[in-house]
């Protein structure tokens, strides 16, 4: 075990605290569900899709997702780096199950849409702009 391994969680916490203190807004992605053959398989119930007027959208297939202008989260949602339509990394490396950043429940404007590829199907990711005070750390 090295000193870096021991202090790694502390460094992550310090970096996040710095982000919070500067009130910088950052673009990041949330996952709204998974699609297989251009239909939901499944859509996450905690992510509501909204149109320009803030009304709920019932999206049944992939082509209708371009109508989404905002999302409303009814519970915290994990945040991820927006990697576009690249395949999801299927690394077998051991990953720490420590605290991870998540968006608090609320409404967020959608800045982009991508479909990272899975072995079967693809994820539906919305790029959202989120203020630092709308981010919480949760344990998985």
Quick: pLDDT tens for 60-87.
Answer: 989 999 999 999 999 999 998 887 777 7
- What is the 8-class DSSP label of residue 88? P
Check: pTM over 0.95? Answer yes or no.
no
3-state SS class at 12:
helix
Q: What is the phi/psi pair of residue 4, to 5°?
A: -65, -40
Cβ pair 131, 28 in contact under 8 A: no
* Cis peptide leading into residue 42 (ω within 30°): yes
Q: Identify the band that residue 24 occupies on the pLDDT scale cut at 50, 70 and 90.
A: very low
Q: Are 63 and 38 spatial neighbours (Cβ–Cβ below 8 Å)?
A: yes
The per-residue pLDDT of the chain, averaged, comes to 81
């Amino acid at each position: 075990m090295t000193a870096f391994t021991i202090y790694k969680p502390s460094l992550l916490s310090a970096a996040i605290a710095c982000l919070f203190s500067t009130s910088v807004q950052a673009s990041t992605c949330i996952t709204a569900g998974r699609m297989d053959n251009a239909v939901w398989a499944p859509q996450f119930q905690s992510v509501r899709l909204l149109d320009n007027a803030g009304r709920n959208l019932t999206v049944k297939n992939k082509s209708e997702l371009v109508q989404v202008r905002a999302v409303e989260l009814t519970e915290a949602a994990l945040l991820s780096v927006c990697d576009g339509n690249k395949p999801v990394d299927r690394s077998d490396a051991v990953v720490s199950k420590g605290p991870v950043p998540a968006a608090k429940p609320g409404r967020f404007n959608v800045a982009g849409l991508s479909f990272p590829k899975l072995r079967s199907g693809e994820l539906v990711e919305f790029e959202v702009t989120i203020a630092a005070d709308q981010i919480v750390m949760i344990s998985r």
